[in-house]
A and B are shown apart, each in its own frame.
Chain A
Amino acid sequence: MPVITAAIDPITRIEGHLKIEVKVDTVNGVQQVVDAFAIGTLFRGFEKILENRDPRDATIITSRICGVCPTSHGMAAALALDNAFGVNGDTPERTAARLLRNLVHGACYLESAILHFYLLSLPDYIQGVPMAPWLPGWDVGRRFDRDTINRFTSHFVEAITHRRNAHEMGAIYGGKLPHTPGYIMGGFTAISSQDDKDRFSAYLESLITFIEAKYIPDAELLANLYSEYLSLGKGHGHLLAFGVFEADNRQAPELLLRRGRRLAGTSTVQPVDTSKIAEQVRYSWYADSDGNRPPLQADTNAQYPKGAAYSWLKAPRYDGVVYEVGPLARMTVNGDYANGVSVMDRHLARARETLKIALAMRGWLNDLTAGQSAYTDRPMPVSATSDGLTEAPRGALGHWLQVEDSKIAKYQVITPTCWNVSPKDDTGQRGPLEQALLGVPVVNVDKAIEVLRVVHSFDPCLDCATHVTRAEPGARVFARGELPRKP
């Protein structure tokens, strides 16, 4: 039987534009994915847009990379700016800035997780509301009884409210979400009142109740009913986290979710040295000379046609190793999750992490002093080089900044989806999502719901991932997913 090639374009219920191409064959009597290609289909060139701007603009501009994790970009940019401007010291202003940044960032984590589980992922398992835009849907099977369907459907509707409430909570200090102007070099614009704290707390307690009583049990129920997905979508199994949510004002602070990496089959968490991160481009539409350099030395010159290249995304690797990033990586590295790596492990880790963050937010809110300014002024440097490492809800996020003549000379961003949805690298290793798709059984090749389940478990955000590309004038572009022909 010939190998069937099937493309899903667009992949819906994600952020941004993604096409997945899979090759399907029957192996040992089971029709399954035998090869996979993840193809991002959007680029905007944010680094070019940032060049020559006031460095402080980075928080505002990079927030617009993504409408689902704007505060993660705001946070990464603010950390990079703090480093570049020399903002330091253990002061009340820095404490207030840290707490306000964490609280608004945390609000977006809760928003993103609830959005992801109920609105973006659940329709892969349960028929949604019987009307457009959920119908016509794909066949998701009939594994649930009526009570379970009613439970998930009513929680789906509640989730819409709680997701919105998470943003309303964040807007108490953020003013407007998505795209708050609150994150600035040196701190945060808002000054909390006691009334702000009380209103924030009311939203937070309601969200904690929802997460404890509905979200986590729902994720566990789904994992029980679809237990085969505890062994599907494993991928390479190497996990990386930059860490997030600073707990003190030191230069290398304690983090709620710590920095580290863990190789598959080991239990040791190893340190992260960002100088070992390099992006490879053999299967990406960029000149080979751009590849394998650290972020701030990397360049990006589009090249078409180019050998077997098939993606706009580069392939970031750590010391040549393919790492998966995201809540599962964070929770595993932090010692809070120890079940494994799979589709359902990603959902379970995300749900439990959401509660951990929500409970931590309670503490940060309590520590926040009403009336305290959250800003530390520092003069603009003429030149500086710095980085800002944090985590977006969907994984490790790094911003690299170079200032010259008090302007942005170079800005580089490596997003979580760059790691997770990367194409093959120079040595032919597939990206984490591509690898996770191998061996996944597919019943209906035209409507491969099983493929969607694996894709959605990573919570991909192509808005983030594909901004890094930078096309040169005159470069030729071929249709995504199509191997470039000889000129």
Chain B
Amino acid sequence: MSMTRRSFFRYCSLSAAVLGLDACKLSLLQKALANPNAPSVIWLIGSACTGCSVSFLNRISDKVGEPATVAEVVTEAINLVFHPTIMGSAGETSVASLKQVYSRGNYVLVLEGAVPTAFGGHPCVVFSYNGEEVTHQQAVQELTARAMQTVCVGTCACFGGIPAAGSNPTKAMSIRQLTGRSTINISGCPANPDWVVWAVVQLLLGNPVTLDEDGRPVALYSTGHGGAPEEPVIHNKCPRNPGNHGVPLAQNFGENGHCLENLGCRGPFTKSRCEASWNGIGGHLVHEPHPGHWCIGINAPCHGCVEKTFPGPQSFYQPYSPE
């Protein structure tokens, strides 16, 4: 099946200038994507809650040329051969699709969830192949080895996240910790769908992605919706920052618009483009269609879910400082 559809060409053409692609390279890309052997996408879920996949389904964008919804992403922009939550087949048929792409070796691997390593990896079995059960640990080792690039979706895959918290009963770890291989980390609990789509499309376009020290694309975590550099620290762009005129520190929840630093907010230690980014069109404010939301907007503290320190042993409701 050709993965290239009209709107994807549209996306490529329109974003070419922004991305610095010259016409020659774009033409090569179009030829590459028209090729039935163009990169496919495998999405595998390990020790996770499926929340990042659910978040992916929440994709909505009005940027010209971009796939607007998850339906457009899946039907027009990428060739998603394996995704356990939405795919049609089950059992051996589904695994055969994955194995076929694996044998060709030219695929983008999207990994959701941490990797449990206790008990030989058996706390998470992802499928059976030839009658043998395959652990997530085995699958990740094999699939990352032949992937064109691996995208870690969500804090569990990026840094271990909640499965690796506390006493870490299943010895869960991140993909990098397990494999030692480079990954593009789209952290967040869950990961924001726009960030995930952006990363996968960059890879399909063959664009280099600059990463920060935690493997996260600089362009996503430190750049505004318009593409210009933006203050990355949540606290510094929070409308409830006490630096804003007249904003007091909240003594308790239920106080509208007060700073929650004393109630556990991790905003001063969290770098992320969250503002107006969730469950709506990224950057759209109230009174625009499908306005974006964020935790700060509902008088809630930032829990720092995009950071490798999440969740950490500290209370979410006492003044926070990273250990």
Contact = CB atoms under 8 A, between A and B. Distances in A.
Interface of A: 7-17, 19, 41-45, 48-54, 56-57, 60-61, 64-68, 70, 93, 115, 119-120, 123, 127-129, 131-138, 157, 160-161, 163-164, 167-168, 170-182, 184, 186-187, 189-191, 195, 199, 371, 373-375, 377, 446-447, 452, 463, 470-471, 473, 475-482
A270 B122 CA distance: 41
Nearest to A140: B88
A444 to B, nearest CB: 11
B93 A136 contact: yes
27 contacts: A10-B91, A12-B84, A12-B94, A13-B87, A15-B49, A43-B116, A45-B170, A49-B163, A66-B50, A67-B55, A132-B40, A133-B82, A136-B89, A138-B88, A138-B89, A163-B57, A164-B57, A167-B54, A167-B279, A168-B290, A173-B298, A186-B253, A189-B253, A190-B298, A477-B123, A478-B122, A480-B133
Nearest to B154: A67
B58 A50 contact: no
A446 B50 contact: no
B122 A470 contact: no
Given A68-B54, A180-B295, 17 more contacts: A7-B91, A7-B131, A17-B45, A45-B167, A70-B51, A115-B57, A123-B88, A138-B88, A175-B298, A178-B190, A184-B317, A186-B253, A190-B299, A191-B254, A373-B254, A373-B255, A479-B125
Interface of B: 1, 40, 45, 47-55, 57-60, 69-71, 74-75, 79-95, 97, 116, 118-120, 122-128, 131-133, 161-163, 165-170, 172, 189-190, 252-256, 278-280, 286, 290-291, 293-301, 303, 305, 311, 313, 315-318
B133 A56 contact: no
B254 A374 contact: yes
B91 A134 contact: no
A171 B286 CA distance: 12
Given A12-B94, A49-B169, A132-B80, A67 B190 contact: yes
A429 B207 CA distance: 57
Contacts of B119: 471, 475-477
A64 B51 contact: yes
B50 A463 contact: yes
A119 to B, nearest CB: 6
Given A49-B162, A53-B166, A175 B89 contact: no
A195 B58 contact: no
A478 B190 CA distance: 32
Nearest to B318: A54
Contacts of B300: 175, 180-182, 184, 189-190
Contact of A45 (B169, B256, B296): B169
B126 A10 contact: yes
A71 to B, nearest CB: 12
Nearest to A173: B298
Contact of A19 (B125, B169, B253): B125
A57 B315 contact: yes
B166 A51 contact: yes
B87 A134 contact: yes
B299 A191 contact: yes
Nearest to A40: B125
A168 B279 contact: yes
B43 to A, nearest CB: 9
- The residue in A11, A66, A179, A481 that gathers the most chain B C-beta atoms within 10 A of its C-beta is A179
Contacts of B303: 60, 181
Contacts of A452: 90
A19 B125 CA distance: 9
Contacts of A171: 278-280, 293
Contact of B90 (A12, A157, A373): A12
Contacts of B165: 49, 61
B133 A479 contact: yes
B254 A132 contact: no
B125 A137 contact: no
A133 B88 contact: yes
